[in-house]
Amino acid sequence: MEKRYTTEISAKMILIVSVVLMCTLINVAYSKVEIVQFENADQQTLYKRLINELRCLVCQNQNLADSNADLAIDLRKKVRVLINDGKTYDDVVEFMVSRYGEFVMYRPPFNRSTIFLWLSPAVLLISVFSIVVWRKRSSSRTSTSNSAEFDRERHEKVRALLQAHDD
Amino acid sequence: MNRFIWPLVIFVAVSVLLWKGLALNPREIPSALIDKPAPKFSLATLHQPDIEVTRDSLSGRVWVLNVWASWCVACLHEHPIISQLAGEVYLVGLNYKDGREDALNWLGRNGNPYDTSGFDQLGDVGIDYGVYGVPETFVIDQNGNIRYKHIGPVTQSDLDEKLKPIIAALQATAKTG
């Protein structure tokens, strides 16, 4: 009994120790990102929004905020400088798009080349929905008409049988 | 029969789309700068820090900008191929985020094909040119417009089939125009 108690304790201890270790790991990961200070809170929010929405071109599936690639660090610095120069969200996006193309935006704009991307989910959903509805309706219509036909046939048959019996 | 036709059609359509998707290269981002004026720059040259190379000093001729660094392994692979352009076209090196001494040693070891080299230590000119994967190579016409951009190392077939014909065509129009 006592032995069981101690094993329980040690399992708990391991859990606690590993949680503590995980926390230290998280701290290490965070300490890599440079600390950025702005004069006001609006600029801070703008900076956060921009580095979350702009793509790191080297590691294409990460945004600037997540990436530690050299280019991402340089581009974060550039974003910071532009914001400190009083540039707006649109200015910074325009700066990046004019150099790296629309691919730099994680949220693609709505234009001629992206119209398929934006509209295809809705088109697909509507078409599948209408096919399902249409098929359901036509099948129920045929089945009801079939059963009516069947009923009439049976009715005729029964009547014929009864008549034959009567005779 | 009819109930099998539609799933088959959808299957074939999806297969064709996915097959085409396999052939695309996600690394190749269409440049926003094609047919646009080459961004302005003025940089100290790699060899003489007190002498500048500027975009405007290069205009009036067809020139090639090759972005490289001594830390870039693919640049070393590309080097003998890019060197074939020496003498054929005005070749400008952009030494990107490098140390001056490292870069000069690298050129000393591997040969210097560049007519002039800009020293872009902070990578600011690189950002203006939309550089994201060194090496990159730009072809700029006599009016200062970027006409072609190659991302990654130039292979022999890239040089023979793309870069050289484009350069030759631009030089021909530059002469007649």
Q: Is A78 in contact with B127 (CB distance < 8 Å)?
A: yes
Predicted local confidence at residue A33, as pLDDT: 59
pLDDT at residue A5 is higher than 70: no
Lowest mean pLDDT among A57-61, A95-99, A101-105: A57-61
**Of residues B26, B32, B97, nearest to A100 (C-beta):** B32
The verdict on a CB contact (< 8 Å) between A75 and B127 is yes
Rounded to an integer, the average pLDDT of A78-88 is 92
Q: How far apart are CA B106 and CA B99, in angstroms?
A: 10
Number of Cβ within a 10 Å radius of residue B41: 20
Mean pLDDT, rounded, of chain A: 82
Mean pLDDT, rounded, of chain B: 91
Lowest mean pLDDT among A84-88, A144-148, B6-10, B75-79: A144-148
Encode pLDDT of B19-37 as tens digits. Answer: 988 888 776 776 788 899 9
Look at the domain B28-176 and name its fold.
Glutaredoxin (3.40.30)
What residues does each domain of chain B span? Answer: 28-176
CA A145 to chain centre: 45
Lowest mean pLDDT among A11-15, A33-37, A52-56, B160-164: A33-37
Predicted local confidence at residue B53, as pLDDT: 93
Predicted TM-score (pTM) of the model is 0.72
Predicted local confidence at residue B33, as pLDDT: 87
Query: Which residues lie closer than 8 Å to A67 by C-beta, 6 or more apart?
Result: A56, A58, A59
Q: How far apart are CA B67 and CA A70, in angstroms?
A: 16
SS3 B71: coil
Predicted local confidence at residue A113, as pLDDT: 79
Predicted local confidence at residue A139, as pLDDT: 80
Q: How far apart are CA B11 and CA A117, in angstroms?
A: 20
pLDDT at residue B67 is higher than 90: yes
Amino acid at A106: Y
Closest of B133, B76, B69, B132 to residue B100, by C-alpha = B69
**A76 to chain B, closest Cα gap in Å:** 12
What is the SS3 string spanning A75-119? HHHHHHHHHHCCCCHHHHHHHHHHHHCHHHECCCCCCHHHHHHHH
Chain A residue numbers with beta carbons less than 8 Å from the beta carbon of B133 are 57-58
